[in-house]
Amino acid sequence: MKPESAVRAAASTGAQPRAERAAKPSPRRRIDRIASHAASLFPGGGILIRWQCDGESGVALEPRDSPLRPILERTVAAADLYAPRQDGDAALAIPAENSYRNGANGAADAEAPLVVFARARLNSAADGAVTTAVAAPARNRTAVPHAIAAMASEAAAAAIRMAAAEKSRDFWRVHAQDLAERLARLETSSRERDDERKSADDAAAALARLGPRNRYTHLGARFAATGPFDAWIVVLENDGIIRAVASQGALVPATPLENSGALAVCMRAGKTAIWRPKRARRGQQRPEDRLFARFDSYACVPFERGAVALASRQPIEPRTVARAEALAERIEPMLARWRAEAERERLERLVGALGMRLYGAVDAERARIARDLHDHQAQLLAAARIALEAGPDEARGVFKQLEDALRLRVRELRPATLGRSSLEDALRYELRRIADAGIRGRLMRPERIGKLTRPVQQLCYQVAREALANVMRHAEATHVEISIEKRGRIARLSILDNGRGMPETGGRNGMGLSGLAERLALMGGRLKVESKRGATRLIAEIPEPA
């Protein structure tokens, strides 16, 4: 049976028991009828039926104003007390009650009524019992009162059993109705979940076929299709900076989003949140509240290192949020692949640019060496001629100068490397070298250097050497401080000077710092320069290899 049919069937079966219960008499009324029919069989007598079942009890007396009521009650009480398991009769001597009926002060045995009783148990003694007492006229000495008492007891017991069966049937009918409704809801919910899962799978398959261009625009459109959303913003996080990469229906600032915004809070918590811009107080408004000010509410749904904000003019329902969350969970692997592809493309572009710059640097260095050799060739020849014409002592001095100049040229041509030295010794040597140029240097907290691996120390030395060379050439500084620390898996090198600062271009137009920035980016690090007159700080962040 389909869920809709099950619901209709359960509803119809639920209405039927209510009508039946309204039409059927209660057990008490049924036993009253049984007593009335039994009393009509012997005029002038009386019948009393006492019953109890499931903590409920009752008494039926016919005629209701019968003067035999006291003797019938005593008979039933005696039967319940002394003969709970057997039936019998008794010709009792009637005291004042019988005299009252006969209108005399005494009672003759011949005129006393015949009193009999009968008992009927329900399913067991614990379920209850029915006791019936019948008082027949004195002239009625047949077995009829016995049969009437037994039949009345059995009929009353049957009425109680029937009422219990109907009650049980009604209970299970209502229970079946409830189960049918629950089954229908479960089947409907299961079908909706299957539909939503299929929709998420179809959306993920369609997104997986997209090229690199406008990927996140299509992603935002797919999220908007999960509900009645009128505007959306897709943001990505990179190195702690959150930027919008696609949007529709909302103006997005070009600058990075604030870390206190709704999207940032959602990404850090890893949970979906719903915000209402119109209910936010002015002091507690978030940047997204201003972006979606004309909408009733917006939901922030996190995904792989990013999030999407979905705005609607109507209140957002939980089912709509669940569909968006299911889509976000389904596309997590695809988003990771997108990021890996983007990073690979960035590194390929960086390698290409670095290669071009490297070849350019090699050509420039060759030209410089050729120019230096050409410019100093005449001086070298003249010095050699003087050494040959002069005496031995003067010749040795000239050749010593030539040797020092040659070593200096060779040192300049060698790449910056630590060799067998430690990073601390190499930095102190560089500080002594700039001290000869009149610049005081200081190495801060050298004990932290030993925590770095050798490749990271090598790169720190190259960055520091290039930075100190720039300070000597351009900064016009008198003081330099070098500090190195490790934060988690990131080594942080900081070089601060008190020179005249750098121009707005950041000083990266030359081959030095620009080449260092590209080399750091290739290794997953980055180079930052904070410059103003009197204080220029170069910061290199280098990740430790995994």
Distant-in-sequence, close-in-space partners of 135: CB < 8 Å, separation ≥ 6: 45, 46, 47, 68, 71, 72, 75, 113, 114, 115
Take residue 234 and report the two structure tokens written for it. 């897709």
* Final residue before a domain boundary, out of 124, 151, 175: 175
60's enclosing H/E stretch is strand 56-62
Overall domain count for the chain:
4
The CA distance from 506 to 518, in Å, is: 14
Residue 15 belongs to a domain with what CATH number?
Answer: 3.30.450
309's enclosing H/E stretch is strand 306-312
Does 82 share its domain with 63? yes
Question: Do residues 157 and 164 make contact, with C-beta atoms less than 8 angstroms apart?
Answer: no
Residue 430 belongs to a domain with what CATH number?
Answer: 3.30.565.10
Question: Do residues 12 and 18 make contact, with C-beta atoms less than 8 angstroms apart?
Answer: no
Q: Which strands sit side by side in the sheet containing 114-121, from one edge to the other?
A: 56-62, 46-53, 128-136, 114-121, 88-90
Does 166 share its domain with 288? no
The CA distance from 418 to 411, in Å, is: 13
pTM, two decimals, is 0.46
pLDDT per residue, tens digit, the chain (546 aa), is 444 454 445 445 445 555 555 556 788 888 899 989 988 887 888 899 998 877 788 899 999 888 888 888 888 888 877 654 444 444 333 333 332 233 334 444 556 778 888 888 877 655 678 889 998 876 656 778 888 888 998 999 888 888 888 888 888 999 999 999 999 888 887 887 777 777 777 777 777 777 777 888 888 888 888 888 999 999 998 877 888 889 898 877 777 888 888 898 898 888 999 988 877 766 677 888 888 988 999 999 998 889 999 999 999 988 888 888 888 888 888 888 888 888 888 888 877 777 666 666 666 666 766 666 666 655 666 766 666 666 677 777 777 777 766 666 665 555 556 667 788 888 888 899 889 888 999 998 888 887 788 888 888 888 888 888 888 888 888 999 999 988 888 889 999 999 888 765 444 444 467 777 877 877 778 888 888 888 899 999 988 876
* Final residue before a domain boundary, out of 277, 302, 330: 330
Range of 456's domain? Answer: 415-546
* Final residue before a domain boundary, out of 175, 199, 224: 175
Does 432 share its domain with 399? no
Does 300 share its domain with 338? no
Does 406 share its domain with 423? no
Residue 249 lies in a domain: yes
Q: What DSSP string describes 172-200?
A: HHHHHHHHHHHHHHHHHHHHHHHHHHHHH
Take residue 199 and report the two structure tokens written for it. 């929709």
Residue 188 lies in a domain: no
Does 305 share its domain with 320? yes
Residue 199 lies in a domain: no
